[in-house]
Structure 1
């Protein structure tokens, strides 16, 4: 199933509604980056989108290179070098203190594509650097229910539907609402998520030349990997 979305404005190639992500706030990502990156260090943000995380990182003194496949997304990024590219195809002639791969991309692609994502991280992190990855632990899928979600000011995010379509493969649809000045804008975004065990995650990292060092958050959705040698 290819990711898809409906609603006003442009939709990125991975199915993300650009206008919605431009009004969505951050949820602690800059603080996580600061935990693993030296002060004033360099950050390669893979799948940066509209710059939700990019902009506070720059404000905190980090040098950021923002990579995304969507020209519409990158047009909203300010203060960082931007590179339009699929993550899997990225080959920059430099390495970074931290490489960041957010948005549970590791779960939304097939095994061979997940390896290519991890390889892109590995070839751009410096020796002694960190790869910061967001993923969906296997047990987190057990909590998915239609109707679950959260509200933050003018933004509401709700899981409209979820189904395990084959063992370990889930199809979900999110409903996003942004209301201001008495007018609501509504989007949907559908995607697939694959249930990964810790062992499968570790094996994928190892195949790319990385090693799982530790989980960075209590819910285990963020982890730190380092070059294996």
Structure 2
């Protein structure tokens, strides 16, 4: 994970404000399962704080101290209690089990090595109560988009946002795709009118292909029970943008 990219929780939330449909999906999953909820890579609590506000006991595990601080602020503003734990999703032991574990918003894709992904799934398996589920979402890789990662810096107009201190912030990204590692290696440039390239941060994200994901889960002691292609639970298909997986102990 790029520490620099996640060093400013407020800036991260303005750059990635979250998806209301995704939040609703995970809240519904928590309501369906009941009991205690664990989120891995919980970030600034965009998913977990709303779940906690519904009355579910929640724990968030996050590697970045800055993101944890942002999550604590979000929970305090909402007036909800969440247990925040600094830890690494590749291997963790919280000493108890949970009724629902979630890995949302492509957080799993910060793990680049197959061994790290399997280690994560094995840790999740040890933390699942009887009948519990792991629910995760990752993007469905597009070969066309990966082929366009040519290293050229381009403006991402859809990612522009307004910062209260900096004004309008524009985002440029230059990416290359390492096919052997299945990792997109990018450099993100954030610029305001007064400060060009005020933030330059690397971001490396793995691709997990549709036939690969169930195999990795199986190696971790889990199996896919359901897989959807969007937040409305449309069955997964080759042209879906997302892989939304509901998993159980194998």
Same fold by TM-score, threshold 0.5 exceeded? Answer: yes
Q: How far apart in 2 are the matches of 1:177 and 1:133?
A: 32
Instruction: Assess if the C-alpha contact under 8 Å between 1:210 and 1:227 holds in 2.
Output: yes
Aligned match for 2:69, one of 60, 71, 75: 75
Instruction: Assess if the C-alpha contact under 8 Å between 2:109 and 2:207 holds in 1.
Output: yes
In the superposition, relative to structure 1, how do residues 57 and 186 fare at CA in structure 2: closer, same or farther (>3 Å)?
Answer: farther
**Higher alpha-carbon Rg:** 2
Instruction: Assess if the C-alpha contact under 8 Å between 2:42 and 2:62 holds in 1.
Output: yes
The structure carrying a bigger strand percent of its residues is 1
Q: How many residues align?
A: 216
The match for 1:147 is: 155
Q: How far apart in 2 are the matches of 1:178 and 1:94?
A: 46
In the superposition, relative to structure 1, how do residues 132 and 177 fare at CA in structure 2: closer, same or farther (>3 Å)?
Answer: farther
The match for 1:41 is: 35
Equivalent runs, 1:191-210 vs 2, <5 Å: 191-210=203-222
SS at match of 2:26: helix
Instruction: Assess if the C-alpha contact under 8 Å between 2:101 and 2:133 holds in 1.
Output: yes
Instruction: Assess if the C-alpha contact under 8 Å between 2:188 and 2:200 holds in 1.
Output: yes
Equivalent runs, 1:210-229 vs 2, <5 Å: 210-218=222-230, 219-228=241-250
Instruction: Assess if the C-alpha contact under 8 Å between 1:45 and 1:99 holds in 2.
Output: yes
The match for 1:8 is: none
SS at match of 1:150: helix
How far is the alpha carbon of 1:35 from its aligned partner? Answer: 3.0
CA offsets, 1:140-181, max 9 Å, x none?
Answer: 7726664345247526674511112344332123345689xx
The match for 2:238 is: none
Structure 2 unaligned regions, length at least 5: 76-80, 164-168, 231-240
CA offsets, 1:87-131, max 9 Å, x none?
Answer: 223111222121111242433321111111212222222222221
SS at match of 2:142: helix
What is the CA RMSD across the aligned residues, in angstroms? 3.1
Q: Is structure 2 residue 174 aligned with structure 1 residue 161? A: yes
In the superposition, relative to structure 1, how do residues 195 and 185 fare at CA in structure 2: closer, same or farther (>3 Å)?
Answer: closer
The match for 2:166 is: none
Q: How far apart in 2 are the matches of 1:159 and 1:217?
A: 28
Structure 1 unaligned regions, length at least 5: 6-10
